[in-house]
Structure 1
Amino acid sequence: MTDQHARLSSEKVYLSDVEIHRQSPLASAEDLRARVLFHVLLSDTLLVGDSQSLNTPLFRALVSSREAGGRSVRSDLAPLLSSGRIRVACRDGQTLRAVRDAQELRQVEHVPSASYADLMDRMTRAHAVTYSFDTVAAAFTSGVIRLLEEQTRNAAGETRKTVEAALEFVRGQEPLYFKALRDWEESFRNASSGSTEVVLALAAVDRAAGESYRQALPQVLGAGTAAPRSLEPPAAATTRTVLERTTLPVGILDGFLLGRLPVEAFLEAVEQPSRSVLVHQLGSLRRGGQPDLPQLVEAVTEFSTWMQETFVRVFRDTDERARAVLDGNRNLMRFGISQDSLTGALGAGLDVPAADGDEDHLDLRVVDRSVPVADGAAGIGELDARQMRQRVITGAYVG
């Protein structure tokens, strides 16, 4: 396997699992670490937002032992940040310290210490990806409006009145901050009848805001999205299997093992030629292209075997719990290519079909899925409607 594709331009993938404005499916910092390493392993450039990198306590614990607060956590993501394997998307013309200070003034939740923001600036400034705050804010607002308008189409009674009140508030904000919308929701709830209908409508408003927030930054940056586990994979009825391999080593999908893998071994993994080819071929597929299927199968076979051997080598004499997982795991990984019967688009998947429900295996789905253009998106700064139609990839499900 040669590294012939390593010279090609990198593809950015936005880590939605670090999204602070969603109900987190993450149980621990180790769980988040496994998810972060998983996506770094299978993408050229993993992006996290500036607010995400600052205001997510579990993420901070993985960067700084001081932020871990005495918990037994591998606080070792610094090499991935300083090398640009993980890049922070920061609003144009601002440092993370400036973002942090502004958030403290607005009383945003989970604002970190100034020293942590300074540390992140030192580590990430050389590889930062900048974005226009006004453009992302406009995309966020447009997305919220679109999703709320969809909710009003078949709504009636207090549900419709609640959503329409939210729309009126959103349209009057310039810019719209997520916290401001949350504060409005709380105020509206306190002043309302408190009926179940109102409570459910406000929950739907909050979900719409969270979904738009999750989409706005990757839309503007032209990035794919590593979506949270709560998103459902495409319906089996609409796809057909193009090829399938069912006897691959499973380690690459083992969240427990990834969560404990030393960063030194991980850095060795991302330099493997087979991994570079795998990432390139998956990237081609994500962009709606036609991957080289034989080369893709060869790459995933070679890299999954290399990873399994690495887990054995690293944990054999150093980690009794990890060794027990390796010794007791008899599952095999499945790799498949599917095709949407309606659009002809290809998708790829990595999963463990025979996994026990108690086992911590990840499940990757890679698809090319357009994000709907928000009404009025054209003409937002340098962003036009064509640029707004960005792909969404899904991944990191629990199998």
Structure 2
Amino acid sequence: MSSITEIVSTPEIQKNRMHPINVTSEIGTLKTVLLKRPGKEVENLVPEYLQRLLFDDIPYLPVIQREHDYFAETLKNRGIEVLYLEKLVVETLSNQELRKQFIDDILRESQANVNGAAKVLKEYLLSFPTSAMVEKIMSGVLKREIEKSKKTHLYEFMEDHYPFYLDPMPNLYFTRDPAASIGNGISINKMREPARQRESLFMEYIINYHPRFAGHDVPVWLDRSFSFSIEGGDELILSKEVVAIGVSERTSAKAIERLALNLFKRQDSTKKVVAVEIPKCRAFMHLDTVFTMVDHDKFTIHPAIQGPQGNMNVYILEKSPEAEIATISHRSNLQEALKEVLGLSELVLIPCGGGDEIASSREQWNDGSNTLAIAPGVVVTYDRNYISNDLLRQHGMEVIEITSSELSRGRGGPRCMSMPIVREDIIN
């Protein structure tokens, strides 16, 4: 298997390898990004368990893979280094002891030790080469895959009761959520939904053991053992000094406060954390599903998150003389709060679907506000959101559209599907 870092070596990429993480804005020119190509885990979705696995529909694997490949090629054509999660994990698990340790962790978090099944599953998974083992862990293990002679408990024979020993992880192609790059460090997140909680374990192992990251003393601002949930779709790096985090269905206020305090203590450049409260519902599951930064002074927004006169709850956390407490102040207008923390006299909020009652709701459902900025004023979007895309162009944006008939079934857009590892710093 070829290494995912097997690309033309340039001084810039060598620099990135010396400093493996650097993300100080949402819009700095993207240099390195982490993706996950949809795989067999998507085909293990069945109607009876869609809700359990956080899907509303079943994507068609050959087409979703073609669409994802087009997305990846679009980024590569812009000179962006694309890393794949599945390949990084394989490269990480380079020795047998680490493989065993990883499987123990996965089985423990999958609660697969019930009635002794963990021992059989561990033997089964270790029987595969590393690449096939990783694919199997991600795609799920069916009860019917284990030889009957190795089954010793009644529930193991009852495939119609529940078919999986290990649930598939179909949400893995949304690499944004399990971890988030902030400055030269990372938050490795405790995810809210049981269906996704194992996902951040992959990033924990990559940061600790992959040669690209291990030995570089990458700061972990918040780890996955913290008691309260936070997800990367809620974490937006507005500038070197300002981080915005959504208080959402998936991210708790307690996790935001702990992350803010850790950043204030350990990263001098972080001055403010802006907590933005959004409605807690599936349609608005993360801040980046309703709000993204697309240029120095431009943002997309879904109008439905704002009250009359643009009112909503915004809290600015700042470093306090007392290390364990942040200074917290309240604002009621998002646009004014953004101008304040970014030092802007004016900024533009570009409404999803043009603000039309029907179009904005429809296009937000299809991730019209979930843009991936790859440079200031240059964004990747889904082609289906033609009203939002046209409006972005009217505001001077370069809009790169990707196909999305199957990708969008997972309820996430280009930003959700990408975790920036390295961006160029914005020079003010």
Q: Identify the TM-score tier after normalising by the shorter chain.
A: 0.3 to 0.5
Between Structure 1 and Structure 2, which shows a larger proportion of helix residues?
A: 1
- TM-score, length-scaled by structure 2: 0.33
Between Structure 1 and Structure 2, which shows a larger proportion of strand residues?
A: 2
- TM-score, length-scaled by structure 1: 0.35
